[in-house]
Structure 1
Amino acid sequence: MERDARKKIHMLIMFSLLVVAIALYLIIPSLRDGVNEAARKLVEADIEAFRDYLLSFGVWAPVVSFFLMIFTLIVAPLPAFVVTFSNGLLFGAFWGGILSWTSAMVGAAICFYIARSLGRPVVEKIVSKTALNWTDKFFERYGMHSVLLARLIPVVSFALISYASGLTAIRFMVFFIATGVGQLPATILYSILGQNANKSVLVVFWAFIAVICFGVLGAAFKPWFEKKFKKGEVA
Structure 2
Amino acid sequence: MTMTKTAKAFPPFLALVAICVFVEPVRSTIEQLIFLFGICDVETIKGYILSFGIWAPVVSFFLMVFQSIIAPLPAFLITFSNAALFGWVKGAVLSWSSAMVGAALCFAIARFLGREVTEKLTSRYAMQNVDNFFKQYGQHTILIARLLPFISFDIVSYAAGLTSMSFWSFFWATGLGQLPATVIYSYAGEMLTGGARTFVIGLLVLFAFSILATLLKQVWSRKKIRIQS
How does the TM-score come out when normalised to structure 1? 0.80
* Residue type at the aligned position of 1:174: S
Distance (Å, rounded) in 1 between the aligned partners of 2:94 and 2:12:
24
The residue aligned with 1:40 is 35
Q: Any idea what SS the aligned residue of 2:87 has?
A: helix
The residue aligned with 1:102 is 97
Following superposition, the deviation at residue 64 of structure 1 comes to 0.8
How many corresponding residue pairs? 220
1:9 is aligned, of 5, 12, 30, to: 5
Unmatched tracts of structure 2, length 5 or more? none
Distance (Å, rounded) in 1 between the aligned partners of 2:76 and 2:148:
14
Q: 1:11 to 1:192 in 2, by over 3 A?
A: farther
Please say which of residues 95-104 and 127-136 is displaced more in the overlay. 127-136
Distance (Å, rounded) in 2 between the aligned partners of 1:105 and 1:38:
20
2:110 is the counterpart of 1:115: yes
Indicate conservation of the 8 Å contact 1:131/1:160, yes or no: yes
Unmatched tracts of structure 1, length 5 or more? none
* Residue type at the aligned position of 2:4: K
1:132 is aligned, of 122, 127, 131, to: 127
The residue aligned with 1:211 is 204
* Residue type at the aligned position of 1:73: S
Q: Any idea what SS the aligned residue of 1:155 has?
A: coil
Identity of aligned residues (%): 43
* Residue type at the aligned position of 2:75: A
Indicate conservation of the 8 Å contact 2:80/2:185, yes or no: yes
Following superposition, the deviation at residue 98 of structure 1 comes to 0.6
The residue aligned with 2:78 is 83
Alpha-carbon RMSD: 3.0
Following superposition, the deviation at residue 131 of structure 1 comes to 2.2
The residue aligned with 2:148 is 153
Following superposition, the deviation at residue 11 of structure 1 comes to 5.0
Indicate conservation of the 8 Å contact 2:49/2:56, yes or no: yes
